[in-house]
Amino acid sequence: MPWVLRGLRDGIVTTRYPRRPDDYGPTFRAAVSLRPGSPAGLIDTEAGLCPTDAIRSGDETPGALRVDRARCIVCGRCVARRPDVFQWDPTVELAATSAGALVVPPDPDLSLDALRSEVGRRVGALRRSVHIRHVDAGSDGSEEAEIAALSGPIYDIERLGMFFTASPRHADLLLVTGVGTAGMVDELLRTYEAMPEPRVVVACGTDALSGGLVGPTYSAGDGVGRLVPLDVLVPGSPPSPFTILHGLLLALGRLPRRRGPR
């Protein structure tokens, strides 16, 4: 049986995340953040710096820059043009429980821990075994590729008690990708309504959070947030499997109490 031996050939390839940080994280251009001490007032002078208007000055403190990761498609134009202001952020733990928490640098009033425990309380009953239903509401296909990788040996979410399920009636968690197209509105709502309580919704990818570069159009929305209530937002274009996994763990209140992996 050649395949049996082949299966043993490389030993264990599975990541130890979330118990241990994974070395792959810091090698990957997952997000943009501001360089510490960067000059203010940039927005007025730089037209076309961001194709999705993810960069804006703060409303309360004029001139203070913010990057909204819910809008950022990680194209890197700002980093290339203004490396004195913007930098690549190698963090892969990017998911958040509110749109406000995806704006960097964060608003000091925002209490992440409070938000996190709220979702955690609601899904407390699901902790050991969680079934996931994925719905594509108008993605470009790359998010599906990264979600599919979660079932492979490297990410292997079944080791964490998470399973993809065929029927929404067995599902605890709805994982939605895409801009929210007109043709998927009814299908998305039907899937959501077929799920038993308690249910959690995770929006996966910048397109699902804000429409990204695609929406809104006559046929596409500005994300799926108007269609179903979102519990966790996973930014990225597409988010890497680690970031999606971070979002799933955040939704279930199962992240270890530490910061990382860096």
Residues forming the site for another protein (CB under 8 A):
2-4, 6-7, 9-10, 13, 24, 27-29, 48, 51, 73-77, 80, 88, 133-149, 151-154, 164, 166, 168, 178-179, 181-184, 187, 190-191, 207, 212-215, 217-220, 237-238, 240
CB 155, min distance to another protein, A: 8
Nearer to another protein, 119 or 149 (CB): 149
State the nearest-atom distance from the C-beta of 179 to another protein, in Å: 6
Our CB check for another protein shows the closer of 18 and 205 to be 205
- Closest by alpha carbon to 62, among 82, 86, 42, 34? 42
Nearest to 162 by CA among 100, 227, 246: 246
**Where do runs of H (alpha helix) occur along 39-89?**
77-81
Quote the least distance from Cβ 21 to another protein, whole Å: 17
In DSSP notation, 188-224 reads HHHHHHHSPSS-EEEEESHHHHH-TTT-SSSSB-S-S
Q: Is residue 169 classed as helix, strand or coil in its secondary structure? A: helix
Q: How far is the CB of 113 from another protein (least distance, A)?
A: 31
For another protein, the closer CB: 223 or 253: 223
Q: Which residue stretches of the chain are H helix?
A: 2-8, 77-81, 112-122, 142-149, 185-194, 206-210, 241-251
Q: Which is nearer to another protein, 80 or 125 (CB)?
A: 80
Which residue in the block uniquely carries the two structure tokens 């179903």? 228
* Spatial contact of 188 and 228, defined as CB atoms under 8 Å apart: yes
Q: Closest separation between CB of residue 149 and another protein, Å?
A: 6
Q: Which is nearer to another protein, 51 or 198 (CB)?
A: 51
